[in-house]
Amino acid sequence: MSEVRAKKALGQHFLTDLNIAQKICNSLTVRTEAEPEAALEVGPGMGVLTQYLLQRTDIVTYAAEIDGESVEYLNAHYPQLTPRLMAGDFLKMDLQTIFPSGVRVIGNFPYNISSQIFFKIIENRDIVPQCVGMIQKEVAVRIAEPPGSKEYGILSVLLQAWYDIEYLFTVSEKVFNPPPKVKSAVIRLKRNSTTKLDCDEKLFVKVVKASFGQRRKMLRNSLKAVFGNFGGAEHPLFTTRAEQLSVAQFVELTNWVAEHI
């Protein structure tokens, strides 16, 4: 097989610039070189990033690929990966069972599922110390933005609760085949020191999502639409908008909501 055909339904845009691939590979860091750590590439496609990951001695490279044609191509061109190449949907994989000792995640993520990939990372935060992903620039900016920015949103808050986010570099649309209509960017997530939020974590997610549900409105309206009128009680943050709140303020708000519903 000479080449894999990019499939629109899978959001495939194959990276063709080897310098960018090397740069993404180098962006993944490990704690120590004493013992190689597991690294899982999501959507390796034709292996442009994979080839550099396989050269590293401080990681053991695994890959998850949903496209059968790509799996066939990778098996033919990177036989050393074959024992650790998992054919299937990353979003449905049980990472806790496959990687009980932890795994770093890396990849040129398909645009159409990048948010779902990050939600999967949050779910598995206890075993994913780091994630390096190339995604749509607009999404990368949103994730990395601090409170107060118009781009700051649900994913920003939920990821920043558990990870330190670094916007590493922007990637031109010209280095892909087929070229996407937008620019891309590479970001790095490093697990922070938070082991547990000081609130009900499930309710925290619900409060964050509700707060951004009507992001142009004040929090009073957004939260009442989901939780009711809290028996007429008011919180000082009710006159602000969701994008102005830090993770700590969302924790405070979650505890207040818990007492009033």
In the chain, where the domains are located: 8-191, 201-260
CATH 3.30.565.10 fits 201-260, yes or no: no
Report the CATH number of the 8-191 domain: 3.40.50.150
Residue 66 to residue 52: CA distance in whole angstroms: 21
Residue 182 to residue 172: CA distance in whole angstroms: 8
27-35, Cβ contacts within 8 angstroms, sequence gap of 24 or more: 27/132, 27/168, 27/186, 27/188, 28/53, 28/59, 28/104, 28/106, 28/130, 28/132, 28/188, 29/130, 30/58, 30/59, 30/104, 31/129, 33/57, 33/58
| Joined tokens for residue 166 | 């670094």
Q: Give the closest residue to 181 by CA, choosing from 136, 144, 211.
A: 136
pLDDT of residue 5: 62
The gap from C-alpha 72 to its chain's centroid, in whole angstroms, comes to 27
pLDDT of residue 135: 95
pLDDT of residue 214: 86
**In one letter, which amino acid is 155?**
L
Q: What does each C-alpha distance from 256 to 149, 211, 214, 236 come to in angstroms? A: 24, 14, 20, 11
Q: Give the closest residue to 131 by CA, choosing from 65, 192, 221.
A: 192
Residue 105 to residue 175: CA distance in whole angstroms: 22
pLDDT of residue 15: 85
| Pairing relationship of beta strands 14-15 and 37-42 according to DSSP bridges | unpaired
pLDDT of residue 156: 96
Averaged in consecutive runs of 10 residues, what is the pLDDT profile of the chain (261 residues)?
56 78 97 87 94 97 95 96 97 98 96 94 97 96 92 95 97 86 94 97 97 90 95 95 97 98 92
Q: What does each C-alpha distance from 142 to 98, 117, 195, 231 come to in angstroms? A: 30, 15, 24, 34
pLDDT of residue 12: 54
pLDDT of residue 182: 87
Beta carbons within 8 Å of 204's beta carbon, 6+ residues apart: 161, 197, 250, 251, 254
Q: Which residues are registered as beta bridge partners of 186?
A: 134, 169
